[in-house]
Amino acid sequence: MRLAMIGLGRMGLNMSVRLVRGGHQVVGFAPSEETRSRAARAGVRKSASLEDAVRRLRAPRLVWLMIPAGQPVWEAVDRLAGLLSPGDLVVDGGNSRYKDASRHSRVLAERGISFMDVGVSGGVWGLKEGYCLMAGGAQKDFRRLEPLLKTLAAKDGYALAGPVGAGHFTKMVHNGIEYALMQGYAEGLSLLRGSPFKIDLAKMCRLWNRGSVVRSWLLELAQEALRKDPKLKGLRGWVADSGEGRWTVLDAVELGIPAPAITLSLYERFRSRMRDSFQNKVLAALRQEFGGHAVRKSR
């Protein structure tokens, strides 16, 4: 198949390379000439603009977006609505808010253009191992996209989750679960490290991945990180959040469905980024005021 990949960052470029290796023709666009040239060296046909990428395709055309969520996707969809023709298909494969999908689908449908949202998981390892792909859209559009999904995915690693929006909703919840799993591993390994025993953490991660009920790819990654730096001296305990964890918690509240582990794991990420936080100062002040307890003064 032939498609345009808009966005050639870590995910977009690796996906493009995997598609090229699978026999597909990929026209790629990114704002940076350096990025476009790097993609060209990997077999991606570079284009100078979004308009140029569309011109290089034959109808019916397929355009896959791998760009930051929010305004960049909205702007790209609006521009594509004026560039594409009835029968063409736009895919948003980024970490977009699932509620945006219905708006994008409506804008494109007015021009006879189809839309699908595809949640993509696999990170930087996806190029080698394949991706997990969660699609939302019409069955006919899914069948049209399926040859690309087969090439991108790990074995049996793609599915139609439901109508437009279901792909990104599923990916959002997937990321929320990921937050909670990572928090669980972090707490458990911290307990092992603080024990009275000299436990080799990398060795335990490897052991747990041999038949244990907590085995996972995340644990393999923990093993590798601890093998390279057993005390993780090269890292600060500062943890970012991508936004999908926040959306998961917000939707849990909106739906009235309790998700305490996911919510707490998100708050722990917030806490990791606070140094000498005001809330802890309030706690210290209250203990001093009501009980005369000792406090540590700021320098």
Catalytic residues: 171, 178
Confidence of residue 291 (pLDDT cuts 50, 70, 90): confident
The mean-pLDDT minimum among 29-33, 83-87, 186-190 falls in 29-33
Average pLDDT over residues 54-71: 96
Confidence check: pLDDT of 292 > 90: no
Can you tell me the distance from the alpha carbon of 93 to that of 122, in angstroms, rounded to the nearest whole number?
Answer: 12
Average pLDDT over residues 180-198: 97
Q: What are the pLDDT digits (tens) for 93-107?
A: 999 999 999 999 999
Confidence check: pLDDT of 266 > 90: yes
Confidence check: pLDDT of 243 > 80: yes
Can you tell me the distance from the alpha carbon of 193 to that of 234, in angstroms, rounded to the nearest whole number?
Answer: 17
Q: What pLDDT shows up at residue 244?
A: 93
First to last CA, the chain: 64
CB 149 within 8 A of CB 126: no
Q: What pLDDT shows up at residue 272?
A: 94
CB 14 within 8 A of CB 20: no
Please name the fold of domain 171-272: N-(1-d-carboxylethyl)-l-norvaline Dehydrogenase; domain 2 (1.10.1040)
H or E element that contains 186: helix 166-193
Is the bond leading into 60 cis (omega within 30 degrees of zero)? Answer: yes
Average pLDDT over residues 266-280: 93
Confidence of residue 294 (pLDDT cuts 50, 70, 90): confident
Q: What pLDDT shows up at residue 18?
A: 97
Ramachandran bin of 192, using left for φ above 0, alpha for ψ from -120 to 50, beta for the remaining angles: alpha
Q: What are the pLDDT digits (tens) for 30-58?
A: 999 999 999 999 999 999 999 999 999 99
CB neighbour class for 33 (10 Å; exposed up to 12, middle 13-18, buried from 19)? exposed
The mean-pLDDT minimum among 164-173, 198-207, 276-285 falls in 276-285
Confidence of residue 87 (pLDDT cuts 50, 70, 90): very high
Q: How far is CA 14 from the centre of its chain?
A: 14
Q: What pLDDT shows up at residue 242?
A: 84
Closest C-alpha among 93, 77, 240 to residue 152:
93
Q: How far is CA 138 from the centre of its chain?
A: 23
* Greatest pairwise CA separation for the chain in angstroms: 77
Express as a percent the part of the chain with pLDDT over 70: 100
* Residue 298 dihedral angles phi and psi, to the nearest 5°: -75, 150
Q: What pLDDT shows up at residue 137?
A: 98
Can you tell me the distance from the alpha carbon of 88 to that of 111, in angstroms, rounded to the nearest whole number?
Answer: 10
The domain spans of the chain are: 2-163, 171-272
CATH architecture label of 2-163: 3-Layer(aba) Sandwich (3.40)
Strand 131-136 with 114-121, pairing: antiparallel
The mean-pLDDT minimum among 69-78, 133-142, 281-290 falls in 281-290
